[in-house]
Amino acid sequence: MPYSGAHRIATKKNIIDSARRLFNRHGFENVSIEQIMAGAGLTHGGFYSYFDSKSDLYAEVLNCFFTDPEWKNCWEGVHVDLSSTDVGAQVVRAYLSRQHYEDVENSCPMVALPTDVARSGVAARTAFETVFRAMVSVLERSLSEKKRPRREVAQAIAALSIGGMVVARTLVDRSHADQLRASCLEAALNLGGWKSSTNSGESKKGPSASRAHIQKLAKGKRPRKRAFGSL
């Protein structure tokens, strides 16, 4: 008895989710099709009824919440409302949040897989570019009309957010990684014209949230946990 269309869609999603977790954790080259299918609770033989190759699957894994409305991030306490007027600031905070930093398996693939993408074929690189362009478009919509040229500013903010997380993940010293994320967060928010005090607990008289965070780290203190995009 053939499987229903709904079953095939659910199965394909399970394979993609398994691949995303494994690719994010181990990289493209170090993960086999057998491991991906096992992670989805399936046998190796069923893979080719859904994908032509591991590279074909890889291109689909590169989707994220900018291009796939069904994609759900798993960063606890972090929410991005793409219909919100301040979605740009939300995206920046989500990208550079403590939750995203710590949740390697559920990272946005643009953070976890850029070096693999650079070594891959045209299909994977095109998929990466599609997601990046989608992120830039979301950021651009949220910029003030006075921001010119808006596209260039949005591209810079996207690159700063993605690159900041990539570098932070490579640092051994956690305090240095936290400082870097805080610095990139403040720079990206300032570049977008978004007040760093928004949803960050900054007082009007005090320093910005990210600077306060750095000051606490320098004194050996851990900042109070925030519900949204915590540093």
CATH number for the domain harbouring residue 35: 1.10.10.60
* Strand, coil or helix: 7: helix
What's the pLDDT score for residue 81?
84
What's the pLDDT score for residue 157?
97
Domain boundary among 61, 89, 109: 61
Residue ranges for the chain with pLDDT beneath 70? 1-3, 69-74, 147, 196-231
Same domain, 54 and 74: no
What's the pLDDT score for residue 36?
96
Same domain, 174 and 80: yes
Same domain, 180 and 94: yes
Strand runs labelled E in 16-155: none
Same domain, 43 and 144: no
Give the domain extent around 23. Answer: 1-61
Tokens of 35: 């491991």
Same domain, 47 and 140: no
Same domain, 118 and 132: yes
What's the pLDDT score for residue 229?
57
Same domain, 110 and 221: yes
Provide the 8-state DSSP code for 49.
Answer: G
Same domain, 16 and 114: no
Domain boundary among 12, 41, 61: 61
- Greatest C-alpha distance within the chain: 68
What's the pLDDT score for residue 101?
94
Same domain, 25 and 97: no
What's the pLDDT score for residue 160?
97
Phi and psi (nearest 5°) for 187?
-65, -40
Same domain, 55 and 86: no
CATH code, domain carrying 104: 1.10.357.10
Task: Evaluate whether 150 touches 57 at the Cβ level (below 8 Å).
Answer: no
Same domain, 158 and 212: yes
What's the pLDDT score for residue 117?
85
The total domain count for the chain is 2
